[in-house]
Amino acid sequence: MWYSQLSLLAGVIAVLVGLFFLLKSKLSTKANLIEKLVSIALAIVFFVRYFLSGNSLLDGVMELNLNNPFSSKFLCFMVAVCVWLRVGTLVALTIFPFFKQYKILANYIKTYGLFSAALNVVFFSWSIYALSGSYGWSAIGVLFIIEQALSLCYSVYVLCTTNYYHITKSEWIEMAIALPIVLIASISTYLPGVFFMNKGNGLIKGFKYYHRIYLYIAIVVLLLLYFLLRKKDDKEYSRMALLFISLCTLITYNYHYDFSVFVNPRSWPMHLCNTAMYIVPICLIFKTKGLYYFTMFVNIIGAFFAMFMPNTSDSSGIFSTGIVLFWINHIIAYAIPALMVLLGVYERPKLKNFIYSMLWFIVYFGMALLLNAIFTGIDPNNPTDFFYINSDFIAEKLGKSVENLRDITWVINIKGITLTFYPVYQALYFVVYMFIGLGMWFVFAWIFQMQDFYINTAQKNKKIKLDELALCEKYNEKEINKIMNKDSLNKLVVHGVYKQYGNSKYYSAQDVNLEVKSGEIFGFLGPNGAGKSTIIKCVVGIQPATKGDIEINGYDIAKQPVMAKQQFGFVPDHYALYEKLTGREYVNYIADLYGVSKADRDERLNKYVTMLDMTGSFDNPIRTYSHGMKQKIAIMSALVHAPKLWILDEPLTGLDPTSIYQVKECMKEHAKNGNIVFFSSHIIDIVEKLCDRIAIIKNGQIQTVTTLKELQTKGVTLEEYYLQIINDKSTPPRMKVGDENKIKEEEKVEKPAKVKTKKVKEAK
C-alpha cells in the first residue's frame, strides 16, 4: 500500500510543478497574491487533516512501536520528530507571503523548512500510520499527502525565488538564535513525556521544587523574548515573531481536539486562559484593539494566578501531557499579550482601553455564568465549570468565610432544567476580579516606567559611545580622555547652542555663541526668564544642549563629561548642602570627589577660610549657618580643586555688603591666576565694576557681547546700555523648533544670488 501512496504523492507534486510552470508568466505581476492563496490553501488542508486526526496521533506513535512489524524504536522516534518539525514549517510557509520583508522567514524555509519537508516525505508512510492507525487509504492519508506535497513544492519555490542558499553570516546567526525558540514553541505536548517518561512525581504546586522550576521558565521566556526582539526595534518584526510562536503553540495545544469539539459546547475552550490561546493569534493577525486590551487586562491576570495556583497533578511525571499542556497554555496566555504592548505591537493602554476591556469581561463572565448553569442543569452528574465560577475551586483557597458565601443560592427552573446560581459569591468574584484588573493598570504603569528607564539609559549609553568615537576620529586621537580641541585650551567656548525643554514648541535658548578666555571675569545679564540659567545648566551639563557644542578647556561637555566637569567649579542659584556635616567635612567630601591631595586641600582651605571670614564657624554643623555662610561653603566647595573655570549663577543675591566684598575678592583673585570667572547677576553696578566683558541675553538669544571699556569710550553706563537692549521692541521673539532649518535654507538660496550679482558688476 505504501508504494501507491508514494505514487500519489509524486503525482500531486508533479501537478503542482505543472501548475507552477503554467502560471509562471503571471507570477511576476501576481506572485504575492498567488503565494497568499497557496498559504491559505495549505492552512486549510492542514486544519481539516489535523482535526480529523484528533488525539489519535500519540496512540498511533505508540502503536507504531508496538504492533507494526515494519516499525522500531527508531521509526517511532523519527515519526515523533517529523510531527515536531512539521509544525514550525507549516506556520512559516503560512505566514511567509504576509511578512516577505523579513529574510529570516525565507532563510528558515530554505534550510530548516526544506529539511523538514524532505524528512516528512521519507517517513510519510509511517506518519500516515501514526495519524490514521493503518496503512490503508483514508481521508486523513489523502489530506496528509496533499499537505506534504504542498509543503515540499512551496519550500522549493521559496528556495528558487529568494536567491537559493545565499545567506549572510549575520543571517545564519539570527537563525541559530531563533531555532531553539522555534523548536520549543512547536514541540508537541506529549513529546517531553515520550522522551522523559515518569520523570518526577508529577506534583507541580505549592511552590515545591518542580513548581518553582516551571515558574522560573515562565519568567525567563518573557525576558528572553523581550530582549531578543527589542534589539530589532521593529514593531512588524515583533508581530511576525509573536504570531509565529502563538500559532505554533496553538497547534500543539489542540493536539487532543477533533471535529467533535465544535459540536459539543461543553468541550469548548471557555476557560479564560484557554480562550487566550485563540485570542492572541486573532489579535496579531487582525490587530483587533478591543479584543487585545481584554486579553491584556483579563487573560494575563488569569494566567498569572493559574501559574501560582496550578490544578495539575499527574502520576506519570512532571513531563506528562497534561502538565506540559497546562504550562504552555498559561505561559503563552501571560507572556505574549504582555510582549505585544512592551514591544510596541499595540499602543500602551489608555483609560478608555481599560474600560472597553472590562466591558468585554462582563460579556465573557455573563456567558460563562449562563453556560455553566445550563450545562450543569442538563447533566448534574457532569457539572460544567468555565472560569471556575460554578465550583468552590477558588473559594476553598480563600478560606471558610468565602466558601460559606456559596450557601446562598438562586435556583431557576426552565422547562425541567434547574439553573443554579450563587449570586453573592459570583458577584463578589466578579467585583474582585475587576479590581484586580484595575490593579493591573498600575502594575503595567510601573512596568512601562521601568521599560522607559531601560530604553533611555541604553540609548544614552549608545549615543555616548558613538559621540566618543566621532570625537576621537575628528581630532585623530585614540583616547577619549585627552584634550581634543587644542584651540579651546584655557577657554569656555559655546557654539551654536539650542535648548528645547520636553515637547515645547519654542527654544528656551537659540543659536548661543560665546567665547570666554582665561583671565576674564565675564558677566551674563538678562531679565528673568531670558535664558541665563538655561545656558549655565547646559554649560555645566545639568541639562544637555539640544544642538550645538560646548567646550571647557578643550573638553567637550557632551562627549567628555567627566573630564569637562573636572575643569570647572559651579555655584548654583539654589544650592543643596549636607547640613548634618560641618563646613570642613562637607568641603573635604567634595575634595575627595575631585581627588584633591591632602596638602593641596589644606592649603586652599586655609586661604579661603581666612578670605571669607569663616574661621570661627568652619567646624560647626552647616544647619547652624546663615544664608551667607552657606553660600561661602558652596564657593569653597567650587574652588577646592582649583578649577580653570568658575561658574556662578546669581551668587550675590541675599548677601550682606561684607560678604559681597569677600566674594568679589575671590573672583578677582581667581581671574588674576589665569582662570575664567563666568557669572550671572541682576546687580548691574557690581557687574560694571567687576567684569571685563558682558553678554546680554533676551528671549533666549544673545543680543550683544561687549567690553566695559567700549561702553566707557561711548560714554554710556552699563545700566543705560542694558535697558536700551532689553527695551528694544525690534528684538525677534523666541524661535519655534524647526525654524532654524528654514533660515539656513533661505541663507543658502540668498548667497549664490549675491555672488552672481557681484560677478555681473565686475563684468560691467
Could you please report the per-residue DSSP string of 82-102?
Answer: HHHHHHHHHHHHHHGGGSTT-
Residue with cell 484588573: 437
Write down the pLDDT at residue 8: 54
| 610 and 693 housed in the same domain | yes
Write down the pLDDT at residue 755: 41
Task: Assign 66 a pLDDT band (cuts: 50, 70, 90).
Answer: very low
Write down the pLDDT at residue 747: 57
Cα(708)–Cα(729) distance, integer angstroms:
24
Write down the pLDDT at residue 671: 94
Write down the pLDDT at residue 763: 37
3-state secondary structure of 377: helix
Write down the pLDDT at residue 520: 94
Q: In percent, how much of the chain has pLDDT > 90?
A: 37
480-500: per-residue pLDDT in tens?
Answer: 888 878 888 899 999 999 999
Cα(548)–Cα(499) distance, integer angstroms:
9
Q: Residue 514 sits in a domain of what CATH number?
A: 3.40.50.300
SS3 content of the chain, % helix, strand, coil (to 5): 65, 10, 25
Which residues neighbour 100 within 8 Å (Cβ) at sequence distance 6 or greater? 32, 106
Neighbouring C-beta atoms of residue 242, cutoff 10 Å: 24
368-389: per-residue pLDDT in tens?
Answer: 999 999 999 998 888 888 888 8
**Residue 549: which of 459, 470, 649 has the closest Cα?**
470
Q: Is a pLDDT exceeding 90 seen at residue 742? A: no
Number of domains forming the structure of the chain = 3
Task: Assign 230 a pLDDT band (cuts: 50, 70, 90).
Answer: confident
> Would residue 460 count as lying in a domain?
no
312-356: per-residue pLDDT in tens?
Answer: 665 556 777 788 888 888 899 999 999 999 999 999 998 888 888
Task: Assign 548 a pLDDT band (cuts: 50, 70, 90).
Answer: very high
Cα(281)–Cα(93) distance, integer angstroms:
16
| 738 and 686 housed in the same domain | no
User: Of 219-223, 258-262, 325-329, where does mean pLDDT reach its minimum?
Assistant: 258-262
Q: List C-alpha distances in Å: 158 to 93, 97, 152, 161, 163.
A: 9, 10, 10, 5, 9
> Would residue 535 count as lying in a domain?
yes
Write down the pLDDT at residue 750: 53
Among the candidates 149, 168, 187, a domain finishes at: 168
> Would residue 571 count as lying in a domain?
yes
Q: Is a pLDDT exceeding 50 seen at residue 211? A: yes
| 678 and 752 housed in the same domain | no
| Under 8 Å between Cβ of 362 and 355 | no
Strand-pair category, 491-499 with 568-571 = unpaired
| Under 8 Å between Cβ of 120 and 148 | yes
Write down the pLDDT at residue 754: 44
User: How many CA atoms lie within 13 Å of 551's alpha carbon, on the beta-carbon side?
Assistant: 21
> Would residue 317 count as lying in a domain?
no
Q: Is a pLDDT exceeding 90 seen at residue 51? A: no
Task: Assign 764 a pLDDT band (cuts: 50, 70, 90).
Answer: very low
More confident residue, 455 or 240: 240
Task: Assign 759 a pLDDT band (cuts: 50, 70, 90).
Answer: very low
Sheet containing 555-556: order of strands: 509-517, 491-499, 547-552, 555-556
Cα(499)–Cα(247) distance, integer angstroms:
48
Write down the pLDDT at residue 340: 95
Write down the pLDDT at residue 263: 77
User: C-alpha cell of 511?
Assistant: 543659536
3-state secondary structure of 563: helix
Q: Which residues pair with 516 in a beta bridge?
A: 492
Could you please report the per-residue DSSP string of 136-158?
Answer: S--HHHHHHHHHHHHHHHHHHHH
By CB atoms closer than 10 A (0-12, 13-18, 19+), residue 674 is exposed
| 702 and 590 housed in the same domain | yes
> Would residue 96 count as lying in a domain?
yes
| 539 and 675 housed in the same domain | yes
> Would residue 567 count as lying in a domain?
yes
| Under 8 Å between Cβ of 490 and 719 | no
| 555 and 592 housed in the same domain | yes
| 671 and 696 housed in the same domain | yes
Mean per-residue pLDDT for 68-89?
Answer: 74
Cα(482)–Cα(58) distance, integer angstroms:
69
Mean per-residue pLDDT for 568-580?
Answer: 89
Helices (H) then strands (E): counts for the chain: 31, 12
Write down the pLDDT at residue 265: 81
425-460: per-residue pLDDT in tens?
Answer: 999 999 998 888 888 888 888 889 998 888 888 888
Q: What angle do CA 725, 727, 731 make, to 5 degrees?
A: 70
| 757 and 695 housed in the same domain | no
| 686 and 756 housed in the same domain | no
| 669 and 740 housed in the same domain | no
Task: Assign 267 a pLDDT band (cuts: 50, 70, 90).
Answer: confident
Which residues neighbour 622 within 8 Å (Cβ) at sequence distance 6 or greater? 577, 578, 579, 580, 581, 582, 583, 586, 630, 633
Write down the pLDDT at residue 460: 83
| 601 and 741 housed in the same domain | no
Among the candidates 135, 168, 201, a domain finishes at: 168
> Would residue 569 count as lying in a domain?
yes
Enclosing domain of residue 752: 734-764
> Would residue 475 count as lying in a domain?
no
Q: Mean pLDDT, the chain, as a whole number? A: 84
Cα(647)–Cα(569) distance, integer angstroms:
6
Write down the pLDDT at residue 20: 59
Write down the pLDDT at residue 481: 80
Mean per-residue pLDDT for 554-578?
Answer: 90
| Under 8 Å between Cβ of 127 and 71 | no
As a dihedral over the C-alpha atoms of residue 284, residue 286, residue 291, residue 292, rounded to 10 degrees, the angle is 30
| 54 and 86 housed in the same domain | yes
Among the candidates 168, 190, 207, a domain finishes at: 168
